[in-house]
Amino acid sequence: MGLLVTFLFRNMKGLRGLVVLAMIITVLQVSCDIFAAFPLKFIPSKVQNPGNDPECLVPFLGPIESWFDIPQIDPSLQRDPRFAASPVPPAVQCPVNLNDPQGRIVVVRHSTLGVIVFSILMLLIFGLLSALLAFVDLYLAAYIGQQLTARLRNQLFDHLQRISLDWHGKQQKGDLVQRVTGNVTDIEKLVTDGLVDLLAGVLTLVGVVSVMLFLSAPYTLLALAVAPALFVMVLGYTTNIKAAAKKAAKATGQLAYVATEDINALILIKVFTREALEAMRFGTYVDKNKRERLRAGWLQAQFTPLVALLVILGTAAVVGVGGYVATGYNFNIGPLTVDAYSVDTGTLILFLVFLKLLYQPMRDLSKLATLASTAASGAERIQEVLDQAPEVKESLLPDPYTGPQRFQGEITFEHVVMGYLPGVPVLQGINLHLSPGKRIGLVGLSGAGKTTLVKLIPRFYDIWQGTIKIDGVDNRLYPLDVLRNNVSMVLQDSVLFEGTIRENIAFGQPGAGIEDIVEAAKKANIHEMIESLPDGYETHVSEQGENFSAGQRQRVAIARAILRDAPILILDEPTAALDVEAEVEVMRALNALIVGRTVLTISHRLSTVGNVDEILVLHDGQIVEQGTFRQLKQKKGLFAKLVDEQNRYNPDRTEDETIVHSAVEP
């Protein structure tokens, strides 16, 4: 629970003043609730015994009560024409406790009807004030909760974007979504619904117990006899409920991950008729989630009625002892004595009202325990992400960056070594130089390190050894935004975001004018297709761009890269998932894109790397061959064997070699 308090305090910066204001309003609202209960004592006590006046209990009320001792309220105070003076209420003596050596005789003069009207007005005034303060308090709590929720979601989402791709590869996407949505909502519920109730409950406990002790200390001790047992039970159950809530939150994250995974693979599931099996697999996670939540529900189900049982026992003690004493008998239990007549009908009613105020927070402790436990587990899961430091950090430069914002495009690798797991390098001793505007192709078997190599240029990962220079400067000395603004990428599976085509093309160049967007689309050979749509560039793009073909999505991605106009361009299998016709269209668009840029193209289709200045062949994290397409074919090395393997099903080919054999042959 300490983590939750620290987490909330740290993330409520700027909202703490509102929290203090909400606390002050809560104090006032609880005070009004307590004051509003006193008329329920004043009226029965005055009716039962005219001497039992509110002034006897609270002396400063005497002058206020006198305002109501008027004939308009009490007809018995009408002035008799036969007498010069107006009648006054008869003098009556306040009750005296004969066992109290400090007992004093106090005489008061207040009309019973006046006390009734005064008490009703007091009830109305404090009741209305309590309602108004409750409205302001609850709205403040909702405002603070929403502000905190927005802050946490923005902070968490921003941090998730900065954490390394390697870390993301080890996480379940559905679980991360659950942290951004569900776990933040758990904290919002605590702030909105729980903190006001918790503070009001604590203040009510302190205020009500203080007033009850003032009225009758022995009677109060009897009424609170069940409190220690109640707090011990709350403490024990809270720990178990928190553990169950944490397991339930983790199970919900796993459930979200499986649901997301299956929904994204519906076509594959249908093709392989896996509906029944996937339903069973999903059902196992549903059952696990159900078990964990039932565990939390089982503890909650035990907790709530046990609290109610203790409350009933306390209420029974108050009613029984109060009625017994009010009839004129002393009540003794051990060293505790409640004197006869020390409790009257009004005091008994007030204690019952106070017990409702007192036990309600105790009942709410079960709800608050669940809210706090769920929020604590949510805060822990959020903090786990926020504690994950980005593996690639901004370099700490002594002076602000004043270098060029646009690069020439020269790239140099010097003895670069890099890997994902300690002691397992993926790239080993890479040396490479690309002059501005040079186009190279990267080929090799899967796992050779091609994609890793190009991802080092924009510093998606940091290297272990060596240096990567852009325009002669170590890329770690550039601010990340400057470095990445000079790099564009076209991937195998281009992602289109939900929005319009115009917004997708301008994704890498926010604020671009429609003329520039159209020009980029024309160069990408996608303009005519866009214009043929009913809404043109304002056509809505559905989730993942499913309302466009793969080739159309790829050309929109190329238009995006053209508009960005970065000097360094990375093409990672840009045509691998396309049919022949779409590939032709995309290749034409790429020819317009690569002009005047330093280009690194990764491709398993070796026929698509013929139009480059140089080809690099990677194997086991090293550059094993380097040259033009023709030169490498003539070498009869690994590249030539890869080309032969891709042509193995050509009718003119008679060899029966495999890529595995070719790769391992000396």
Confidence category of residue 578, pLDDT binned at 50, 70, 90: low
- Cβ count within 10 A of residue 352: 16
pLDDT of residue 579: 63
pLDDT of residue 363: 64
CA dist 553 and 534 (Å) reads 18
Report the pLDDT averaged over residues 250-256: 80
Neighbouring C-alpha atoms within 13 Å toward the C-beta of 538? 2
pLDDT of residue 32: 92
Choose the weakest-confidence range: 62-76, 267-281, 464-478, 577-591.
577-591
pLDDT of residue 417: 93
Closest CA to 621 of 475, 472, 476, 464: 464
Pair 242, 376: CB distance under 8 Å: yes
Confidence category of residue 665, pLDDT binned at 50, 70, 90: very low
Q: What is the pLDDT of residues 404-424, one digit of tens each?
A: 888 998 999 999 999 888 888
Confidence category of residue 666, pLDDT binned at 50, 70, 90: very low
- Cβ count within 10 A of residue 276: 8
Q: Cβ-count burial of 21 within 10 angstroms (0-12 exposed, 13-18 middle, 19+ buried)?
A: middle
Report the pLDDT averaged over residues 576-588: 68
Pair 35, 28: CB distance under 8 Å: no
Closest CA to 390 of 166, 150, 152: 166
Quote the tokens at residue 212.
Answer: 């009850």
Q: What is the pLDDT of residues 122-158, one digit of tens each?
A: 999 999 999 999 999 989 988 988 898 898 889 888 8
pLDDT of residue 121: 94
Across the chain, what does the average pLDDT equal? 81
First to last CA, the chain: 63
- Torsion (CA) 138, 142, 144, 145 in degrees, nearest 10: 130
Give percent above pLDDT 90 in the chain.
9
Domains, the chain, in order of start with CATH, read 2-386 (1.20.1560.10), 494-565 (3.40.50.300)
Report the pLDDT averaged over residues 644-661: 53
CA 315, 318, 321, 324 dihedral sign is: negative
| pTM greater than the 0.75 cutoff | no
pLDDT of residue 126: 94
CA dist 33 and 133 (Å) reads 11
